[in-house]
Amino acid sequence: MKLITSLSLLASSCCVMAQQSTGTEFTPASQRAIELTQHTILVDTHIDVPYRLEHQWEDVSQAAGGDFDYPRAVKGGLNAPFMSIYIPAGLEKTGGSYALANKLIDYVEAIVGRAPDKFAIADSVSDVHAHFKAGKISLPMGMENGSPIEGKLENLTHFYQRGVRYITLAHSQSNHISDSSYDLRRQWQGLSPFGKELVSEMNKIGMMIDVSHISDDAFYQVMALSKTPVIASHSSLRKYTPGFERNMDDKMLLALKDNGGVIQINFGSSFVTATAGAWGDQFKAKRSEVAQNNAADSPVVKDFRKAYLAKNPYPFASLANVLDHIDHVVKLIGIEHVGIGSDYDGVGDSLPIGLKDVASYPNLVQGLLDRGYSDTDIIKILSGNVLRVWQDVEDYAAKH
Instruction: Concatenate the DSSP letters of all residues of 110-154 into one string.
Output: HHHHH-TTTEEE--SHHHHHHHHHHT-EEE-EEEESSGGGTT-HH
- CATH pick for 26-274+319-399 out of 3.20.20.140, 3.10.450.50, 3.20.20.10, 3.30.1490.190: 3.20.20.140
What are the b/e assignments for 133-151, b being 16+ CB within 10 Å? eeebbbbbbbbbbbbbbee
Q: What is the pLDDT of residue 24?
A: 61
Bridge partner list, 142: 84, 166
Q: Are 58 and 25 in contact, with CB atoms under 8 Å apart?
A: no
Alpha helix (H) residue ranges in the chain:
8-14, 31-38, 49-55, 70-76, 91-94, 97-114, 125-134, 153-161, 193-205, 216-225, 250-259, 269-272, 274-293, 299-302, 304-311, 319-333, 361-370, 375-379, 385-399
Q: Are 217 and 190 in contact, with CB atoms under 8 Å apart?
A: yes
Bridge partner list, 66: none
Nearest CA-CA partner of 86 in 111, 116, 70, 108: 108
DSSP string, 27-41: PPPPHHHHHHHHTS-
Q: Are 44 and 76 in contact, with CB atoms under 8 Å apart?
A: no
Q: How far is CA 195 from the centre of its chain?
A: 21
pLDDT per position in the chain (400 positions), as tens?
Answer: 544 333 333 333 233 223 333 456 788 899 999 999 999 999 999 999 999 999 999 999 999 999 999 999 999 999 999 999 999 999 999 999 999 999 999 999 999 999 999 999 999 999 999 999 999 999 999 999 999 999 999 999 999 999 999 999 999 999 999 999 999 999 999 999 999 999 999 999 999 999 999 999 999 999 999 999 999 999 999 999 999 999 999 999 999 999 999 999 999 999 999 999 999 889 889 999 999 999 988 999 899 989 999 999 999 999 999 999 999 999 999 999 999 999 999 999 899 999 999 999 999 999 999 999 999 999 999 999 999 999 999 999 999 9
Q: Are 123 and 140 in contact, with CB atoms under 8 Å apart?
A: yes
Contacts of 21 (CB under 8 A, 6+ apart): 315, 316, 317, 318, 352, 353
Q: What angle do CA 227, 229, 235 make, to 5 degrees?
A: 135
